[in-house]
């Protein structure tokens, strides 16, 4: 049987200052780690709902996003040549949605309007709701003749002035007033951070006759690659991407940010490991005679080694629990919604970061491994204590 847990637990508090400092370092690492994996999970969740394999985003040739793409009505009409586009069973029309993409600046809710961010405004027709099937209006939707908008739920949470009945000023010089008439959900995907208006009215507000992009829905079983190839051919000369590829490319900046976070976490983890090792070396040095006594009464070197590893793991888990609690408190304080700019749309995409039990478990498992690794050398030193020499120490 091993040494009792209470022995290790109480020993953690013998050197209060060192333990407290180590716990704080570990808490900082785990808190950041939990936040980042929460962020990554939220991002992946958002992108996974925006990965309809039957949906193709159409841009002008060379266009990288809806912001820097322009499609003329003639170019748009060429899309009817595509052979694998699904048709509306009622009207027989191809499910191709012409869309205009713009952005407007709105004050953020989280800082009380101190800063503003770009919000995507999408001009759509009724066809958009047939193509973007995860978009579901909640309550009223836009009418075809009135200057009205419906607002994605994430956008409504993030930005002020988007309550039903509020007036949104759009157009050059912001001289057109659009009334917020309803909300829409998009399963938490990126479109939920957008504002939708009726396409002709938005075109009129910005003096445009063409579109930014188009979205289309493929027939069941159709090969997206074949449609994209057909689209790039001489007859159509437009560029297409599956929805998943499109949003992944739009979030590449987020991926870089995520990579930087991982590098930082790696460095912080190393620091935490050294901190644990340092604390455990001090612990071992201060308990040499105690270790010698344990070895004398019959505890093996392996039992002593495992004991110190357990003690180190407890220390790490203590810091880990504090880090998770700190991350949770931080999210409560600043809010769960985090927005990031798309690479080339420069509009905010919102993610809902949550401290789920899975994230807590992953964070604690990570820190437990750090605790074990940090204890390897100090615990080995403890196990190799020269018993007779240690017993003779005054």
Among 6, 91, 175, 209, binds another protein (CB under 8 A): 6
Angle at the Cα of 320 (from 314 to 321), degrees rounded to 5?
90
CB of 296 to another protein, least distance (A): 5
Q: Is 167 in the site for another protein (CB under 8 A)?
A: no
Per DSSP, what are the bridge partners of residue 185? 136
Complex with another protein: residue 1 or 114, whichever CB lies closer: 1
Complex with another protein: residue 79 or 309, whichever CB lies closer: 309
Complex with another protein: residue 166 or 290, whichever CB lies closer: 290
CB of 305 to another protein, least distance (A): 13
Q: Is 20 in the site for another protein (CB under 8 A)?
A: no
Q: Is 263 in the site for another protein (CB under 8 A)?
A: no
Spatial distance between the Cα atoms of 259 and 263, rounded to a whole number of angstroms: 6
CB atoms within 10 A of CB 163: 10
Among 117, 216, 268, 292, binds another protein (CB under 8 A): 292
Q: Is 3 in the site for another protein (CB under 8 A)?
A: yes
CB of 378 to another protein, least distance (A): 18
Residue 201 tokens, joined: 């009215």
Taking CB under 8 A as the criterion, which residues in 297-336 touch another protein? Answer: 297-300
Among 232, 261, 282, 387, binds another protein (CB under 8 A): 387
Residue 122: name the closest of 99, 104, 152 by CA.
Answer: 99
Q: Is 384 in the site for another protein (CB under 8 A)?
A: no
Q: Is 91 in the site for another protein (CB under 8 A)?
A: no
Residue 38 tokens, joined: 């929460």
CB of 297 to another protein, least distance (A): 5
- Beta strand 238-242 with 148-152 is unpaired
Looking at 113-121, 175-183, 271-279, 296-304, which segment touches another protein (CB under 8 A)?
296-304
Complex with another protein: residue 329 or 388, whichever CB lies closer: 388
Annotate each residue in 272-291 with x if it binds another protein (CB under 8 A) or - if it does not, as one string.
Answer: -----------------xx-
Complex with another protein: residue 298 or 357, whichever CB lies closer: 298
Among 294, 317, 340, 355, binds another protein (CB under 8 A): 294
Looking at 37-45, 172-180, 212-220, 384-392, which segment touches another protein (CB under 8 A)?
384-392
CB of 4 to another protein, least distance (A): 7
Q: Is 391 in the site for another protein (CB under 8 A)?
A: yes
Complex with another protein: residue 28 or 293, whichever CB lies closer: 293
Among 11, 60, 242, 313, binds another protein (CB under 8 A): 11
Q: Is 389 in the site for another protein (CB under 8 A)?
A: no
Residues that bind another protein (CB under 8 A): 1-4, 6-7, 10-11, 14, 289-290, 292-300, 387-388, 391-392
């Amino acid at each position: 049987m091993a040494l009792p847990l209470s022995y290790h637990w109480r020993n953690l508090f013998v050197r209060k200052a060192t333990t407290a400092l180590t716990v704080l370092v570990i808490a900082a690492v785990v808190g950041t780690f939990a936040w980042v994996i929460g962020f990554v999970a939220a991002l992946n969740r958002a992108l996974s709902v925006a990965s309809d394999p039957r949906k193709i985003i159409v841009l002008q040739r060379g266009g990288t996003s809806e912001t820097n793409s322009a499609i003329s009505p003639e170019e748009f009409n060429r899309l009817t040549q595509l052979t694998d586009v699904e048709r509306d069973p009622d009207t027989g029309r191809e499910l191709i949605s012409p869309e205009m993409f713009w952005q407007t600046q709105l004050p953020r809710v989280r800082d009380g309007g101190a800063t503003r961010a770009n919000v995507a405004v999408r001009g759509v027709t009724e066809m958009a709701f047939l193509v973007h099937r995860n978009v579901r209006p909640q309550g009223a939707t836009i009418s075809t003749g009135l200057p009205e908008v419906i607002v994605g739920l994430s956008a409504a949470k993030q930005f002020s002035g988007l309550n039903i009945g509020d007036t949104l000023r759009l157009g050059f010089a912001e001289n057109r007033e659009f009334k917020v008439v309803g909300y829409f959900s998009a399963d938490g995907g990126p479109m939920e951070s957008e504002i939708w208006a009726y396409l002709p009215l938005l075109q009129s507000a910005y003096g445009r006759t063409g579109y930014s992009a188009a979205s289309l829905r493929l027939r069941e079983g159709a090969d997206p690659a074949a449609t994209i190839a057909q689209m790039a051919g001489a007859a159509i000369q437009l560029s297409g991407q599956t929805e998943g590829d499109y949003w992944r490319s739009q979030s590449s900046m987020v991926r870089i940010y995520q990579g930087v976070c991982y590098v930082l976490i790696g460095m912080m983890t190393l620091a935490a490991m050294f901190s644990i090792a340092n604390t455990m070396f001090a612990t071992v040095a201060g308990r040499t005679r105690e270790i010698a006594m344990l070895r004398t009464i019959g505890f093996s070197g392996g039992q002593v080694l495992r004991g110190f590893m357990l003690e180190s793991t407890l220390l790490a888990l203590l810091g880990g629990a504090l880090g998770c609690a700190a991350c949770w408190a931080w999210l409560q304080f600043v809010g769960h919604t985090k927005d990031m700019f798309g690479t080339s749309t420069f509009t905010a995409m919102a993610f809902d970061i949550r401290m789920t039990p899975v994230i807590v478990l992953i964070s604690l498992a990570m820190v437990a491994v750090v605790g074990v690794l940090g204890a390897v050398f100090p615990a080995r030193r403890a196990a190799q204590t020269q018993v007779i020499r240690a017993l003779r120490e005054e």
